[in-house]
């Protein structure tokens, strides 16, 4: 009954739009007080939750994404992708996906991708004859690639909670990210094949060379980050720091970042980091309460009594994560659910890297799902469209995302083959 009241209190506060961290802290502190524990215990549990070396990479990867936005890298990637596809029918749809794929190597946030790239891509697509709904739908959907493709902030958080190698999880996420891009490209093909027009400029080798030179610098970022991590040169934290410094230098060379801009960049990074850290700390206290009440063990016993099939378990997890991702912020769902579900997954023999990629993909799809899908609300002011119209635009693209999710769920080797190949 105590846990039921705790859950009802948290849910009520979330429905009242209380910030997630405070919606967790309030009921948890009340529980601690009624159980006779000191406030010092609450502080210690929250502090221990964020006292994790892998989580040190989070602010640096946030900094990397913020700097990449300020440096105008998205514009350069857009120009290059546009020159590469030429007069292919539906070219701007493919460009949209390609730019999100390229930008994902520098930004691990779907919200940053949707907001930053949407300002460039949506007006360009509307000017070239694409419906605004289609432009918004593909922009929002392709932003899902960012948190899956490394460097991924959710992956760093999951690795810290699960106690697995961040570099290995990064490697495990590469193939699913490319599959998401391929699935979206197939959907673009089917949606534009019967529409007239929708072709880009004639292909030009001169334009391709000009724009190609402009993206050489930005494309060095994933080489530094992933090459450094997988090659054993850097830890993920060190790679994020070196990558951030590299992109700051690029921005300065391009004339997009000055000394005056650094304060704003630091402030934006600090605000985002603080909000994530507060959520993780509050979730750490909640995780301690759940462990004290043996909630993970009870859920495990219930699920093992319901099914002994690992695939059925993963399908149930998919359903649960999409629902939670639609109503809660992704990082908070990670830190609340992973300590409960990961031991159960281990009982079913599910690889923790495979489980992590599935969890992250589900939460990202949840960002496109009402009632509180965060990307929908980010895209609404960017596109100047009501939220329900944004969702109608994204609806066709949910199909390929869900198909890829099921493919990754049923074929674990998609996730595990690259880490095994690299010996991670």
Listing DSSP states for 275-304 in one string gives: HHHHHHHHHHHHHHHHHHTTHHHHHHHHHH
Residue 29 lies in a domain: no
pLDDT tens digits for 47-93? 877 776 667 777 887 787 788 777 777 778 777 877 777 667 777 88
pLDDT given at position 99 = 82
Please report which residue ranges of 51-151 form alpha helices under DSSP H. 57-70, 73-85, 91-103, 110-127, 132-142, 145-148
pLDDT given at position 356 = 92
Residue 15 lies in a domain: no
Q: What percent of the chain has pLDDT over 90?
A: 11
pLDDT given at position 409 = 93
**Domains identified in the chain, total number:** 1
pLDDT tens digits for 382-393? 778 887 888 888
- Residue 404's domain spans which residues? 38-421
pLDDT for 297 beyond 70: no
pLDDT for 246 beyond 80: yes
Q: For the chain, state the CA radius of gyration.
A: 22
pLDDT given at position 401 = 93
- CA dist 351 and 419 (Å) reads 12
pLDDT for 40 beyond 90: no
Give the residue, 180 or 104, on which the prediction is more confident: 180
Burial of 260 (0-12, 13-18, 19+ CB in 10 A): exposed
Residue 32 lies in a domain: no
Residue 144 lies in a domain: yes
Please report which residue ranges of 193-258 form alpha helices under DSSP H. 205-230, 236-253
Mean pLDDT of 124-146: 85
DSSP three-state, residue 128: coil
Q: State which of 90-99, 175-184, 186-195, 207-216 shows the largest mean pLDDT.
A: 175-184
pLDDT given at position 358 = 93
Q: What is the pTM of this model?
A: 0.79
197 pLDDT band, cuts 50/70/90, is: low
Mean pLDDT of 319-341: 78
pLDDT tens digits for 331-368? 777 877 888 888 888 888 889 999 999 999 998 888 88
Least confident residue range of 104-118, 171-185, 356-370, 408-422? 104-118
Residue 120 lies in a domain: yes
Mean pLDDT of 257-267: 86
- CA dist 421 and 424 (Å) reads 8
Residue 213 lies in a domain: yes
287 pLDDT band, cuts 50/70/90, is: confident
Read off the tokens for 209: 């060379």
Residue 260 lies in a domain: yes
Mean pLDDT of 161-185: 89
Residue 109 lies in a domain: yes
Crossing angle (nearest 10°) for helices 352-366 and 166-192: 40
Q: Identify whether the C-beta of residue 333 lies closer than 8 Å to the C-beta of residue 159.
A: no
- Rounded to the nearest integer, the mean pLDDT of the chain is 81
Closest to 168 measured CA to CA, from 422, 423, 416, 419: 419
């Amino acid at each position: 009954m105590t846990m039921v009241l705790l859950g009802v209190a948290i849910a009520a506060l979330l429905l009242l739009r209380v910030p997630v961290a405070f919606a967790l802290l309030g009921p948890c502190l009340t529980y601690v007080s009624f159980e006779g524990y000191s406030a010092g215990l609450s502080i210690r549990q929250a502090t221990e939750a964020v006292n994790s070396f892998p989580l040190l990479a989070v602010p640096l990867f946030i900094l990397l994404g913020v700097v990449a936005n300020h440096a105008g890298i998205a514009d350069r990637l857009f120009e290059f992708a546009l020159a590469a596809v030429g007069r292919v029918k539906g070219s701007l749809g493919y460009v949209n996906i390609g730019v999100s794929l390229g930008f994902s190597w520098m930004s691990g946030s779907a919200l940053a991708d949707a907001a930053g790239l949407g300002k460039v891509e949506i007006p360009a697509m509307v000017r070239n004859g694409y419906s605004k709904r289609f432009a918004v739908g593909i922009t929002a959907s392709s932003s899902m690639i960012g948190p899956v493709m490394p460097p991924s902030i959710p992956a760093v958080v999951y690795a810290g909670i699960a106690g697995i190698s961040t570099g290995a999880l990064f490697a495990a996420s590469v193939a699913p990210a490319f599959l998401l891009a391929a699935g979206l490209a197939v959907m673009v093909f089917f949606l534009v094949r019967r529409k007239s027009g929708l072709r880009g400029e004639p292909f030009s080798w001169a334009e391709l060379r000009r724009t190609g030179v402009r993206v050489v610098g930005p494309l060095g970022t994933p080489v530094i980050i992933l090459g450094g991590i997988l090659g054993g040169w850097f830890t993920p934290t060190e790679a994020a720091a070196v990558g951030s410094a590299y992109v700051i230098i690029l921005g300065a060379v391009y004339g997009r970042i000055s000394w005056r801009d650094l304060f704003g960049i630091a402030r934006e990074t600090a605000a985002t980091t603080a909000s994530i850290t507060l959520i993780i700390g509050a979730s750490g206290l909640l995780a301690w309460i759940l462990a004290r009440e043996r909630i993970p063990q009870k859920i495990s016993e219930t699920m093992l009594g319901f099914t002994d099939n690992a695939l059925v378990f993963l399908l149930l997890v998919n359903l649960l994560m999409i629902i939670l991702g639609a109503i809660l912020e992704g990082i908070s769902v990670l830190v609340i659910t992973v300590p409960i579900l990961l031991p159960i997954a281990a009982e079913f023999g599910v690889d923790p890297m495979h489980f992590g990629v599935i969890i992250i993909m589900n939460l990202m799809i949840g960002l496109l799902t009402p009632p509180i899908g965060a990307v929908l609300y980010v895209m609404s002011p960017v596109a100047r469209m009501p939220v329900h119209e944004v969702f109608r635009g994204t609806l066709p693209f949910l199909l390929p995302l869900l198909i890829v999710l099921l493919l990754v769920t049923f074929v674990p080797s998609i996730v595990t083959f690259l880490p095994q190949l690299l010996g991670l």
